[in-house]
Structure 1
Amino acid sequence: MDMDWVRGEKLGHGSFATVNLGVPRSQSSQFPPLMAVKSCGISHSCSLMNEKLILDDLKACPQIIRCFGGSFSCENGERLYNLLLEYAPGGTLADKVKNSDDQRLPESEVRGYTKALLRGLHYIHKFGYVHCDLKLQNILLFPNDGVKIADFGLSKRTGNGISPGCEFRGTPMYMSPETVTGGEQGAPADVWALGCVVAEMVTGKPVWRCSNLAAVLMRIGVGEEVPAIPGILSEEGKDFLGKCFVKDPSCRWTAEMLLNHPFVRDVENFDDVADSLKGRQESKTTVSPSPRCPFDFPDWESPAACSVTSLPAPEYSPQPALPFSNLTPPTTLEWLGELMTHQSPDWSVSGDWITIR
């Protein structure tokens, strides 16, 4: 099905992609009146195409962002690939933590968000995928405290051990020991990242507080140190994080196991929220009527009209965040050496992603 749409105001941009509001030129029951359009040049489109293919597989899960299709466009002389995504009126979980009192969330909210994230992760892992970049900035907020996992550009099929070419994906601050020391990124790595997310919601600060990337990687990958468990958490919360922060991935609890942990098992009213979100998806009702953007004014529109088209389904592989040139698996010291000499931003903040509201 084809649909013309118009690009609206910019929401944010990263190193190679931008996110704009998007509105269909003619309303349809198949699409909402407001979307988030993630765009990049054709030369960098591999990650977005990979994201579309994965989201198509995971579209039935209420805790995962919806994708409405992909399209190509030519704007201002540049050929772009565009991914049409569900718009999150509440912003990111990182925004909420930053803007909350004391820049941290009460445990009651943390429990609800954690249970939702576990449901999403369990679904992702059940279908044979690994997210590879779970963090506060990639968790979006919806009405009634609903949360959805987003940004699957670095996600991959569950593999056996190290990826070909020793690909290194994700944000170092949230990486598991097995990822740092050997590039192993399976479902347990997502659970470790979830633990980092939970601790950060509670304290408002990253679990690793180091001045540079090398120091972070050494603390994660070398020795027996694990992130500090916040003392303000309940005993159930401390035990929950203890199950996430297990050095040996084979002994780390799975998302399915954690769903039965007392920290989240009896969260009140969450099932009603999840069912409500699922019902809104199935009925395809409209999103929030207050999108916080000036649609009644003509100057926000770009002249570009884009058409959603069906994409072929080849096996796209995302561009790794930090590629390694060796074709054989490196030793732990070689791996850490490569990572420490790589020029990277300060991963403790999301400075490379600029949000515009």
Structure 2
Amino acid sequence: MTTDVMQIEFRKTERSRIQEVDFNNLPFGKHFSDHMFVADFVDGQWQNGQILPFDNFTLSPALSSLHYGQSIFEGMKAYKNEEGEVLMFRPLDNFKRMNESAKRMCMAPLTEEVFMGGLEALLRVDADWVPSTPGSSLYIRPYLFATDTFLGVAPSKTYRFCIFTCPVGTYYAKPPKVKVETEYIRAAAGGVGYAKCAGNYAGSMYPTMLAQQAGYDQILWTDAKEHKYFEESGTMNVMFVIDGKLVTPAVSDTILKGITRDSILQIARQLGIEIEERLVSVEEVISGIESGRLTEAFGAGTAVVVSPFSVIGYQGKDYMLAEHPAEKSIAVRIKNYLTDIRTGKVDDTFGWVYKV
């Protein structure tokens, strides 16, 4: 954990908007907390750390990130325990992954002092925005973008780092229907699939829209070469329960190294559930549903946490997945345990929880 604290200038809002929010009805990503943290990379160093009222930026039309896509982000969550203390979940893992993305996108790396110092300062000033209602949390969005003003394909020399937050409820109101994507691709070997860069999400929107028009909520990406093996699903890593084992695609340079994914695997091992990280073919999953060997399929990510699929659509046919009682569902058992760790209801034997 960081011991240094950067010097941060505070300019608090004159009027909080918290009374305008119904914390019993929190749509995802619609309400923004009162403040944001901002720091700039100029002359080879991070400086100008500030807590400011949440507001618009003034940007040049020639801003390089708008033209050449040097933009990365992370997704995190904070919770409150029964004593009202604010808890973050694995923030240093997000910091490390953000710098992996920065390296791939040829951007200035963040220091732990800037990332953690800004994060802690922001959560302290906006602690009242962290919900305590079941199923809710404070979503945290750190992001980094290039700020040079020029036209020319070259890395920027200046960057802005910002963190803002929003209280959120459940991402999916009901188990999503997903469609196996066999035409478009999300990432190819040697590309930027493992980086959490803005362009990855922009490229996913058109095929996702087509799937939604066909009645699905999200798509299941397959490999770029053969469309034979599963990779991930929209905003989630994917997992399957086959013959009682938890099976998931192994991470690679085409798959985001999910922090929730890693947490689930560690919890599963502690619960004595057998795990396989390997290639998972579309054929294996579809035949597994038909034979009954596959009993669960779900997405895992910061926003969705654990989200069981209700339907997998493939080649014009929908394959239904049965909903299991909580005590018989591996996905539900792991989700409940993960939630209890995040909210301080059980001992954190993994060392994941960071108290603000």
The structure where strand makes up a greater share of residues is 2
**Common fold by TM > 0.5:** no
Q: TM-score, normalised by structure 2?
A: 0.30
The structure where helix makes up a greater share of residues is 1
Q: TM-score, normalised by structure 1?
A: 0.30
Structure with the bigger RCO (C-alpha within 8 Å, sep 6+) is: 1
